[in-house]
């Protein structure tokens, strides 16, 4: 696949690091899109730490249907995919990851690629998460932590994405409580540093999986989605 072969109806949810809330945000966005009448599907290109980690199953549970998420490859060690495959004695090829992800995203309406850890997590054959997003030619929503230290990590991540020609449609500061001065000032400072829309998502009271969708929809605006997704269907644009 060449860089010019882009996917018009897909985007990625990537993170500044592992455990920043990518899966939570991905599930909320996929569920929101489905509530708006689309056949959105989350695509986890490769899952390590399986079991118990299973991000695709979490997204499916949140959305209430197995059709809402898929993962073509799973690895047992809880390590970066390239490292996990090496430790497990398995073969993982980057071209297979890329081509499978592209086919699954193209078959979704829209498709939402969930990243694996941070942007430079090794996938296979010397290629990383950021390579996958760039090769697919899709925009990204960047999920980051809210507190002290996020300015550096988030700004560097935005620069890395843009250097690869990846449009950053929004930054989501997850688990935002506003209890510290750093948290309260970070959104405006990051918006100035990156020239990106910055949104905050507080800790959500989630008693049922479906509460994730309601919480994400309540606290994030429709503009969190890339413009190509919002303008791709009347049900989204008219919300």
Domains in the chain: boundaries: 10-230
Going residue by residue through the chain (239 aa), what tens digit of pLDDT does each one get?
A: 344 456 899 999 999 999 999 999 999 999 999 999 999 999 999 999 999 999 999 999 999 999 999 999 999 999 999 999 999 999 999 999 999 999 999 999 999 999 999 999 999 999 999 999 999 999 999 999 999 999 999 999 999 999 999 999 999 999 999 999 999 999 999 999 999 999 999 999 999 999 999 999 999 999 999 998 987 543 454 44
Out of 34, 41, 44, 145, which one is annotated catalytic? 44
CATH assignment of 10-230, among 3.30.40.10, 3.40.50.300, 3.40.50.700, 3.40.720.10: 3.40.50.300
Say what the pLDDT of residue 2 is.
42
Residue 202, annotated as binding a ligand: yes
**Rounded CA Rg of the chain:** 17
Q: What is the pLDDT of residue 230?
A: 80
**CB neighbour class for 109 (10 Å; exposed up to 12, middle 13-18, buried from 19):** middle
115 is in an annotated binding site: yes
The answer to whether the annotation marks 55 as part of a ligand binding site is yes
Burial of 186 (0-12, 13-18, 19+ CB in 10 A): buried
44 a catalytic residue = yes
**Does 31 belong to an annotated binding site?**
no
């Amino acid at each position: 696949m060449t860089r010019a072969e882009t996917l018009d109806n897909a985007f990625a949810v990537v993170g500044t690091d592992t455990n920043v809330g990518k899966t939570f945000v991905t599930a909320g966005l996929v569920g929101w899109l489905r509530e708006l009448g689309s056949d959105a599907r989350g695509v986890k290109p490769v899952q390590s730490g399986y079991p118990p980690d299973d991000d695709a199953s979490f997204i499916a549970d949140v959305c209430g249907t197995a059709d809402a998420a898929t993962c073509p490859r799973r690895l047992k060690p809880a390590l970066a995919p390239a490292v996990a495959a090496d430790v497990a004695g398995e073969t993982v090829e980057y071209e297979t990851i890329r081509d499978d992800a592209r086919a699954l995203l193209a078959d979704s309406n829209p498709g939402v690629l969930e990243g694996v850890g941070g942007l430079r997590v090794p996938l296979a054959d010397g290629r990383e998460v950021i390579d996958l997003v760039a090769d697919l030619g899709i925009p990204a929503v960047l999920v980051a932590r809210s507190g002290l230290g996020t300015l550096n990590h988030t700004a560097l991540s935005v620069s890395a994405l843009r250097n690869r020609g990846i449009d950053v449609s929004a930054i989501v500061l997850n688990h935002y409580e506003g209890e510290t001065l750093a948290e309260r000032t970070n959104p405006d400072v990051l918006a100035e540093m990156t020239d990106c829309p910055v949104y905050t998502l507080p800790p959500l009271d989630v008693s049922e999986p479906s509460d994730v969708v309601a919480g994400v929809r309540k606290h994030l605006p429709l503009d969190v989605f890339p413009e190509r997704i919002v303008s791709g269907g009347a049900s989204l644009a008219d919300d």
